[in-house]
Chain A
Amino acid sequence: MTIPTTASGNRGLQLEQNLIFEQDTPGMTAVDLPAAPKVSERLGEMKNSKPIGLPGLSEPEVVRHYTRLSQKNYSIDSGFYPLGSCTMKHNPRLNEKMARLPGFADVHPFQPISTVQGALELIDTCASWLKELTGMAAVAMSPAAGAHGELCGLMCIKSAHEANGQGHRKTILVPESAHGTNPATAALCGYAVESIPANAEGRVDVAALKAHLRPEIAAVMITNPNTCGLFERDCIEIAKVVHDAGAYFYMDGANYNAIVGRLRIADLGVDAMHINLHKTFSTPHGGGGPGAGPTVLSDKLAPFAPVPMVVKVGEKFEAEEHAGHGAAKQSYGRMKGYHGQFGVFVRAVSYMMAMGGDGLKQASGDAVLNANYLLARLSEEMTPAFEGPCMHEAVFDDRFLKGTNITTLDIAKALIDEGVHPPTMYFPLVVHGALLMEPTETESKATLDQFIASMLHLARKAKSGTAEAEFKNAPMLSPRRRLDETKAARKPILRWTPGAGDAAKQAAE
């Protein structure tokens, strides 16, 4: 049975929606204002030369427009979202309730310090938990997200080298499986980047790393667990050889959620690591809210941490706002307005206190268990890129599709018809045709089983040799069929212009 076309363009209760500008009815408005009195114009050259271009709509039209747009979202609140390396886990509603308490929600960063003691205490509490969990000497709370935290870590490293007469160190080593932000951060700090290969197991090749170490190397950046979802077992040895070479060890903590409560980062010999509160500590992610990337530092790097920093003086909290004074004597300065993402700190503290130490430990364990459940069950029809067990992410390559002419992209598109947000594709780059899945600890076995049923069904169908056309045409059931990603990237239309044709027509072309 084929899907009928409709006169409206709507598909059942999936409603078509044009851009708000295309719904313009000039003169239509939600408010009935009296006609403006006649006045003599005194704007001169500042007078509007042309209409300002706001569309005219009634209130119900505007309400429907934005409600329909919101319903087009696929989010963790609506379904399973196994995006690898992104930790799309549940955001507990308790966090939201705490963040909306007037004492937190209504404070202003310019209030006198004496009136925001509770807010400073909250920042200090968050910092204390992060130091306790990682065993590190200090934490810079202000970085606004993961990559910003990386920048903070590298700026501390740069400051430390300069303070120690090692400013000639201009190169950072990064494994080839690293998050793209690692080399980008190094480049932003003015460093050259050298890539270190992975071994056949998907881990950093320690011998290759040693061969790259020399007096120009400022630091090594390693993600652990790494982007292949594997624990870097040789971290302690890596830290030792890196330190012996006079360099610092930066650990990318994007995947800290897989090990929180299980090991102390300080015990690995790490000098700096950012923590994504929006991954490990359940604060909203992506479009759901700002991130936060507090960066823990070893005692060697702690003196260079950015301002502002919260310090406890007797029973009172103070905020050290300026580099060059007191606790911030050697600070490299400020990298973020005010005190960081305060509302995110409230949510993270709420999560940590609700979970407790035992709960955090269980969360990382369950995240790893869920990923290994996927790895084990999906191995029935799919090909894991590396031998398990994995950490919190399971990565498959495309060997199971060999000879079918069906690609990883086709599988991902078909998953949309199954009602699942596709996992990360073609990343990490070291895995051919990669599908990287991170189920997170908040998904039940029933949800995972349903996803596994979809994946196994698609893998079997792909291998049957009879469904190639179906895969190439997927998704069939979504509001839009397969989009031309190549054209979108080569000739992007970034802005609607009058007369450019309606969006639906452009998308259909």
Chain B
Amino acid sequence: MSQTRFTKDHEWIKIDGNIGTVGITQFAQGQLGDIVFVEVPAAGKTIKAGGEAAVVESVKAASEVYSPVSGTVKEGNAALPDAPETVNSDPEGKGWFFKIELSDLKELDGLMDQAAYEKFCAELA
């Protein structure tokens, strides 16, 4: 069963079994503007929930991408550093940052679902 969850830092995580695919949301890419640089984590890196996992830089700002969950990175999106514009054009699809093997599926309970995230963004705007 696949499901998508969101963080207050505007990351999304799509769960498939105990593997999560992580990226930044449509809202986040819109706020950042044109993205010009991306750094993704190497496979094997262990990250705690809320820890710095990747870097995204736009014409306006540089910021970290935090991991929504704890676990071990299985794969970084190797295509992204050479085509950072993918994060603008398809943030919740081809613009994914990394895949992570979750060490604690319970952490997902603390994240927002689609409806809650949309409400959260509406309050920010």
Residues on A with C-beta less than 8 A from B84 are 490
B117 in the interface, Cβ–Cβ < 8 Å?
Answer: no
- Whether A489 contacts B63 by the Cβ 8 Å rule is no
B79 CB to nearest chain A CB (Å): 15
- Judged by a CB distance under 8 angstroms, whether B85 is at the interface is yes
- Give the nearest-CB partner of A490 in chain B: B36
Contact call B61/A486, Cβ cutoff below 8 A? no
Closest to A426 in B: B60
**Which residues of B, 22-44, contact A by the 8 Å Cβ criterion?**
34, 36-37
Q: Mark B34-65, 1 if CB is under 8 A from A, else 0.
A: 10110000000000000000000001111100
* C-alpha gap A312/B63 in the complex (Å): 47
Q: Which residues of the other chain, B, contact A490 by a CB distance below 8 angstroms?
A: 36, 84-85
Choose among A180, A429, A485, A489 the residue that contacts B37 (Cβ–Cβ < 8 A). A489
Cα(A425)–Cα(B58), bound, Å: 13
A residues less than 8 Å from B62 (CB atoms): 180
Q: How many residues of B contact A (CB 8 A)?
A: 10
CB-nearest residue of chain B to A491 = B36
Instruction: Give the chain B neighbours of A180 by CB distance below 8 A.
Output: 62
Binary flags per residue of B56-85, CB closer than 8 Å to A gives 1, else 0? 000111110000000000000000000011
A409–B37 Cα distance when bound, in Å, is 20
Q: Please tell me if the beta carbons of B59 and A486 are within 8 angstroms of each other in the complex.
A: yes
Rounded to whole Å, the gap between the CB of B67 and the closest CB of chain A is 15
A485 vs B34: C-alpha distance when bound (angstroms):
9
Report B-chain residues with C-beta under 8 Å of the C-beta of A425. 60
- B34 & A486 in contact (Cβ 8 Å cutoff): yes
Give the one of B36, B62, B63, B84 with max A CB within 10 A. B36
Residues on A with beta carbons closer than 8 Å to the beta carbon of B37: 489
B123 CB to closest chain A CB (Å) equals 13
Measured CA separation A429–B63 after assembly (Å): 9
Please name all residues of chain B whose beta carbon is closer than 8 Å to the beta carbon of A486 when the two chains form the complex. 34, 36, 59
The distance in angstroms between the C-alpha atoms of A266 and B6, with both chains bound, is 45
**Hey, which chain B residues are within 8 Å of A427, CB to CB?**
61
- Residue of B with least CB distance to A492: B36
Given A490-B36, A490-B85, the answer on whether A485 and B61 have CB atoms closer than 8 Å is no
Q: Which residues of A contact B61 (CB under 8 A)?
A: 426-427, 429
A489 & B36 in contact (Cβ 8 Å cutoff): yes
- A453-492, CB under 8 A of B: which get 1 and which 0? 0000000000000000000000000000000011001100
Residue of A nearest to B82 (CB): A490
B-facing residues in A425-451 (Cβ within 8 Å): 425-427, 429
Alpha-carbon gap, A125 to B63, bound state (A): 42
Name the B residues within 8 Å of A426 (CB-CB). Answer: 60-61
Complex formed: what's the CA distance from A29 to B8 in Å?
A: 64
The smallest C-beta distance from A229 to any residue of chain B, in angstroms, reads: 19
Query: Across the interface, which residues of B come within 8 angstroms of A429, CB to CB?
Result: 61, 63
C-beta contact mask, A401-415 vs B, less than 8 Å → 1, else 0? 000000001000000
Contacts of A101-143 to chain B: CB distance below 8 A: none
> Closest residue to A427 on the B side, CB-wise?
B61
Q: CA A251 – CA B49 in complex, angstroms?
A: 30
Alpha-carbon separation in the docked complex, A180 to B55 (Å):
14
Which of A426, A427, A490: most chain B CB closer than 10 A?
A490
> Could you tell me the distance in whole angstroms from the C-beta of A220 to the nearest C-beta in chain B?
19
User: Does the CB pair A485–B63 fall under 8 Å?
Assistant: no
* Nearest 6 A/B pairs, CB to CB: A489-B36, A486-B34, A426-B60, A485-B59, A490-B36, A429-B61
14 contacts between A and B (CB under 8 A): A409-B60, A426-B60, A426-B61, A427-B61, A429-B63, A485-B59, A486-B34, A486-B36, A486-B59, A489-B34, A489-B36, A489-B37, A490-B84, A490-B85
What would 5 more interface pairs be, CB under 8 Å, given A427-B61, A485-B59, A489-B36?
A425-B60, A429-B63, A490-B36, A490-B84, A490-B85
